[in-house]
Structure 1
Amino acid sequence: MGLSANDAFAASGGRRSRRRYGRGRRGTLSEINVTPLVDVMLVLLIIFMISAPLLTAGVPVELPKTEAGSIQNQNEPLTVSIRADGSIFLQDDPVAFAQLSPRLREMAGDNHAKPIYVRADGRASYQIVAQVMASLSTSGFSSINLITDTGGPSSGAKPADTAPAAQEAPQP
């Protein structure tokens, strides 16, 4: 013979056992569960940390390393990039050398004091880099900056001895 729920309560004397002080009570949870929110925010943080460096420069070049520090004033400068093969880019757009100066003047307008950053590949020809910088200077731009990568050799440090030590041949 099975007992129903009502019979089980009737068998205990007809009274329900209630505990005070909240241990046995099951009410609705009125707090917000923040664990999923934290998980989503951490994923978004990682995505932005990975994608932020990719947004700074569109043309891939291998920058030479120097001991100079980074520039703190970053208010949307004009960037001229020079690849190892000598191709020139203004911001992200390829441009011929003859069109570089007119396009820069057009983009800068009357503000010839606006900084121009030259990003040249370390393997690019010195002749092309010098011609681009001379073209920028003769166009009236006075704030021309070379962008390099940090962590290169120091100008005050002694160069490391890269020649292998001479070994003496055994004498008979």
Structure 2
Amino acid sequence: MAGKVSGPVGASGGKTIQQNSDINVTPFVDIMLVLLIIFMVSAPLATVSIKLDLPPATPPVNQEQQKEPTYISIQESGSIFIADKQTTIETLANDVCAAVGNPTGQGCQEERVFIRAQPEVKYNQFMEVMNDLQKNGFFKVGLLNEDIE
């Protein structure tokens, strides 16, 4: 902390000493300028370039296209649609297999299935569809959400 000397006070002509509580920022500015110079000098040295010899890009050997996923839509009235075809909860698994392109039912559970529901659909209607799919072995199920404005 610094001190402050003032002029003559009173009849005695003596000087009084007071404490100065102002912050002395000069050392702080000096330190910051030194740090700035250090960072400016050392920043270009930190960039190191390494030469890489990467192999050329080649397309994959088997380019089979992924199948389009099956979309299950649940209406507010409780109606269930697979693409544009209406179905019921009892025939849902068979209709999903038919929509996937495997009407025999062997291996259709490995395909992706997406469920979208209208905002007004009740939770138990939605969970009934989810539980039926899970009971029939469909575990690759995705949920689609649409923003409500």
TM-score by length of 1: 0.42
Compare the two structures and name the one with the higher strand fraction.
Answer: 2
TM-score by length of 2: 0.48
Larger Rg: 2
